[in-house]
Chains A and B, each alone.
Chain A
Amino acid sequence: METFLGIDYNVWWFLVFGGVISGYAILDGFDLGAGALHLFLNKEESRRIALNAIGPVWDGNEVWLVIGGGALFAGFPVAYAAIFSAFYVPFMVFLMGLIFRAISIEFRSKEKMLWWRKTWDISYCVANIVIALSLGLMLGNVALGIPLNKDHEFEGNWLSFFNPFSILIAITTLALFMMHGAIYLAMKTVNRLYVKLTLLARDFTIFFVLSFAVSTLYTLLYIPHLSDQLRTHPSFFILPVIMTLAIANIPRSLKNANFRFAFLSSSVTIASLLIMVAVEVFPYLIYAPNNPQNSITIVNGASSLKTLKILLIIALIGTPLVCLYTGFVFWTFKGKVKLDEMSY
């Protein structure tokens, strides 16, 4: 197999895809978390500030999902086809969540009637919770593997996606995003709202640590093969260590009101969690527990070498550009939120 800088093109694309998904989880994660705790804010002004804290950036953050979808379609079309047709029902629910999140943000501010704003507040909050839970549910099932036939098509019942492990992962994802979002909002606010958000950030950190502990315990007891790689390659143990340190740093930074550091720590938590999943799954994209021969790997699920090369060129040109203007937008809107007549 041909390599680039000593690494297979297939592995490269797996890394790129993983990077984009981690970027999505970190960036849209705080939008989703902020949205999921929307109803905990009970003043009109607080809700508006929370919306405007993500207002200029959420759309750009969601684009990472679009890029991730494109990256999977382009580099691993077999996995793309299998995943989305298998997760048909949960994925449609997820997409509905995305629609409702977008239109709730957009529509809420357009009218001032109380019932109008309350309706969109509820739809917004529910949409974010649904998105986070369905993402977690699908992630859990990908980690577990799904039954595939020899044409790499899903064979099974979609109700089986609601297994205890995946439900735990779904709850953990929600908790993680809510913690992440609360920290982000605390970073963007002042005065009483800020105090409230620091308390929420603390509560959701506890919520996350508990749900993560339960999920980990469940995994170790009932799904031991999901820690095989860590067991056989002790050097990977650095990942849970980094993650634990990052989690431990969150309450410490919150206490010192160092929100950037807290935000960085929760971002590292998200990234290291996903890297651990990736390490365990690799080289499979989708493991088929019914017959491992039918599994989709980064080799049999990939596009041709030529396409992978083209994709890597596209990524090499595109990534710096995306980082440049994402950075520019975040820099423009840095600091605490101030409402003006163009705000939501």
Chain B
Amino acid sequence: MDVEILARIQFAFTIAFHYIYPPISIGLGLILVIMEALYLKTGDKRFELMTRFWLRIFALVFGIGVATGIIMEFEFGTNWATYSKYVGDIFGSALAAEGIFAFALESGFLGILLFGWNRVSSGVHFFATIMVFLGSLFSAIWIVVANSWQQTPAGFHIVGDGLQARAEITDFWAMVFNPSSVERLLHVWVGAILAGAFLVLSVNAWYIIKKKYLEIAIPAFKIALVVATVFSISQLFFGHKSADGVSRNQPAKLAALEGHYDRLARADMYLFGWVNNKTQETKGLKIPGGLSFLVHYDFNAPVKGLNAFKEDERPTQVNSIFQFYHIMVALGVAMITLSLLACWYWRKGTLFDKKWLMYIFVWSVMMPQVANQCGWFAAEMGRQPWVVYGLLKTSDALSKAVSANQILFSLIMFTFVYTMLLALFLFLLHRKIQHGPETRHDEDEEANEAFTKRNNPLITHS
């Protein structure tokens, strides 16, 4: 395999794996703020236990998020050196701002969040919780700004040509508020909050089914359900805004999302379907003129199709983009339906008797996760063949000093390590969930004993 495809696989793999965790941190961060606020307001012990239980899960998720996230910052340099030189002037300042404004805030207060419960007053602890949540929100701002600049570059000019060409900033705020950053940021934030909310729903639904820790599980479920309902419905609006932005800024991507080929014609919207890129045919269940309506509020308005773009300036993996996009939309609708259904039964007072519904909620944790991943895959594959839209091709952005063998080596290493990480994460998450919200104090003593029984003959003094 060549360097380009290997580098792309490695980037996609490491970022997709990383992206399992930060959205949970953001969503769980919000829910922790709510739980701790309720504890401080009511003094109710249940909210304290709930907060401390989810803090432990948060620590686990955050830990893996940090460990896999640090890779991402340097992967631009290791694998995409030409890209780094091209965008450094612009992208770099967003990344530096992210480090100094977001990560430092988040990681600084994380220590207090996790270890400060008995060290600082409850007010200071609550403040730390809010700071960690804000830090995670801020980190999303800068990285989405940088990514959005790649999709819709603004506030720059090109200096030099050929391999020496690079984008230089002319207007910082135009770069930050480039045409797609605000709508994409809101879309990403809401997706992340859903990831946290559905994790909380899933775990508590399981407790409810098993009739364990009910006095904690039920109020926690309700908190998360409110969050899930509000944000899944609002995602309908933000998702639409985002797609609307794509239609204005990246028409070739929009055409790929719906498998629309005709140069300029009425465009359909598919509920599901299959695209054959060779014959340029899209089959499936469709709403005729649906895409035209969503873009122009007119079922007959013409929309630019893929053939309106040069062959080497439009995405080729149209079916994958189509499928990723449609899975995301379907899951979004499913999350709204599920939340509203649960709210309906909650109002009738029978929610927690509906075992089948609780079983669905146990599995619902996958819905925002898969939707988030699919959304990003659609967005990034739809951007191809450009790495910076309309300016720099992905194939020109590589590190010329890195060979295919080196990438193969690191890719194998990442695959091995990340598979192990995922297995360990699920194992520990499972154990923590089984262990439940109550703390047991005897564990550490047991471990101490077990250790001293096997004394180490090599080192005797200490």
Contacts and interface: CB of A to CB of B under 8 A. Distances in A.
Interface of A: 40-46, 48, 52, 55-57, 59-60, 62-63, 65-67, 69-71, 73-78, 80-86, 88-89, 91-92, 95-96, 98-99, 102-103, 105-107, 110-114, 117, 151-155, 158, 192-193, 196, 303-304, 306-307, 310-311, 314-315, 318-319, 321-322, 325-326, 328-329, 332-333, 339-343
Contacts of B98: 70
Contact of B118 (A80, A89, A193, A342): A342
Contacts, number: 281
Given A78-B88, A83-B77, 6 more contacts: A69-B74, A328-B108, A333-B116, A333-B119, A341-B439, A341-B444
B163 A340 contact: no
Interface in B143-162: 159
Contact of B77 (A60, A80, A99): A80
A85 B454 contact: no
Contact of A84 (B74, B105, B409): B74
A290 to B, nearest CB: 14
Contact of B93 (A43, A60, A86, A314): A314
A42 B462 contact: yes
User: Max chain A CB contacts within 10 Å: which of B116, B131, B459, B462?
Assistant: B462
A338 to B, nearest CB: 9
**Top 9 A-B pairs ranked by shortest CB distance?**
A77-B88, A74-B92, A84-B77, A56-B111, A44-B451, A318-B100, A106-B63, A70-B96, A81-B81
Contact of B455 (A42, A92, A339): A42
B391 interface: no
Contact of A110 (B111, B169, B431): B431
Contact of A112 (B79, B131, B447, B455): B447
29 contacts: A43-B451, A44-B452, A56-B112, A56-B114, A67-B96, A67-B100, A73-B77, A74-B88, A74-B89, A74-B96, A78-B85, A80-B77, A82-B81, A85-B77, A85-B81, A85-B402, A106-B63, A112-B450, A151-B163, A303-B93, A307-B168, A311-B92, A315-B100, A325-B104, A325-B105, A329-B108, A332-B120, A341-B441, A342-B114
A196 B93 contact: no
A44 B448 contact: yes
B279 interface: no
Nearest to B400: A153
B110 interface: yes
Interface residues of B, number: 90
Interface string B111-129: 1101111111000000000
Nearest to A75: B92
Contacts of B339: none
Given A307-B168, A342-B114, A314 B59 contact: no
Contact of A91 (B60, B78, B82, B424): B78
A4 to B, nearest CB: 17
B381 to A, nearest CB: 24
A25 B163 CA distance: 35
B5 interface: no
Given A151-B163, A333-B111, A84 B81 contact: yes
A102 B104 contact: no
A85 B92 CA distance: 17
Given A63-B103, A69-B73, A332-B120, A102 B402 contact: no
B100 A319 contact: yes
Contacts of B452: 43-44
A42 B78 contact: no
B109 A329 contact: yes
A253 B326 CA distance: 66
Given A106-B64, A112-B450, A77 B441 contact: no
A159 to B, nearest CB: 12
Contacts of A306: 168-170, 172
Contacts of A46: 462
B95 A73 contact: yes
A342 B111 CA distance: 11
Interface in B33-79: 52, 59-60, 63-64, 66-68, 70-71, 73-74, 76-79
Contacts of B68: 99
